Amino acid sequence: EVQLVQSGAEVKKPGESLKISCKGSGYSFTNYWIGWVRQMPGKGLEWMGIIYPGDSDTRYSPSFQGQVTISADKSISTAYLQWSSLKASDTAMYYCASHIAVAGTFDYWGQGTLVTVSS
Amino acid sequence: EIVLTQSPGTLSLSPGERATLSCRASQSVSSSYLAWYQQKPGLAPRLLIYGSSSRATGIPDRFSGSGSGTDFTLTISRLEPEDFAVYFCQQFGSSPLYTFGQGTKLEIK
């Protein structure tokens, strides 16, 4: 069974750094793109970026380029999303998602990680 | 940059009725890469339709997708209570690589 399991909720202060994770299992993690999607409170879905764990090829949405870093450790089947300096506007639910059976479509999703940034 | 515009923003219907949701792209989208998702409160989105008209695994046949070019439609033939949720369309391929529509909320009338 394919599963993407994300790290738990985080509460941070503005200016702090953060790295959240997404662990894949039940499939060949190395061979499928895995992306990150932001959902701000009460809002829609925004694609942030995507990584191919096999060679760490990474693509970013122009809206998020330079704002976050996406990485992966294929040895432990885990993808990461990190911030060097959080802002209150980073408060959101963050989902990882992969397209395994269908190219260009997010057919498997993590459960989400809620990030709250508040002073 | 491609923009997906969904309409209506909110759709109020009763169980048993037919729902028609629209997704319009600012430029042509490959039908192979147009998908629909359902999201219920507190849960991650779930893939419903891919390739504009193919149902994902386990999706009931009351859900159907159609369209091409810039106009796509998700139809739910007879609404069940569990279908009331938010629906998003998504494209792959045009800059940015992935784009979601803003969503349509399907609510019980």
Interchain contact, A107 vs B56, CB within 8 Å: yes
Supply A74's token pair.
């294929």
DSSP 8-state class, residue B16: T
Give the E-state strand segments of chain B in sequence order. 4-7, 10-13, 19-29, 34-39, 46-50, 54-55, 63-76, 86-92, 98-100, 104-108
Interchain contact, B98 vs A61, CB within 8 Å: yes
Q: How confident is the model over B19-43, as pLDDT tens digits?
A: 999 999 999 999 899 999 999 999 9
Note the Cα A80 to chain centre separation in Å.
6
pLDDT band at A99 (very low <50, low <70, confident <90, very high): confident
pLDDT, chain B, mean: 96
Nearest chain A residue to B56 by CA distance is A107
Supply B61's token pair.
């046949």
- Shortest Cα distance from A112 to chain B (angstroms)? 7
Which pLDDT score is estimated for B60?
A: 97
Q: Which residues of A touch B44 (CB under 8 A)?
A: 95, 97, 109-112
Compute the distance between CA of residue A45 and CA of residue B56 in angstroms, rounded to an integer: 19
**The pLDDT of residue B94 is above 80:** no
Interchain contact, A105 vs B33, CB within 8 Å: yes
Q: Which residue has the tokens 């159907």?
A: B64
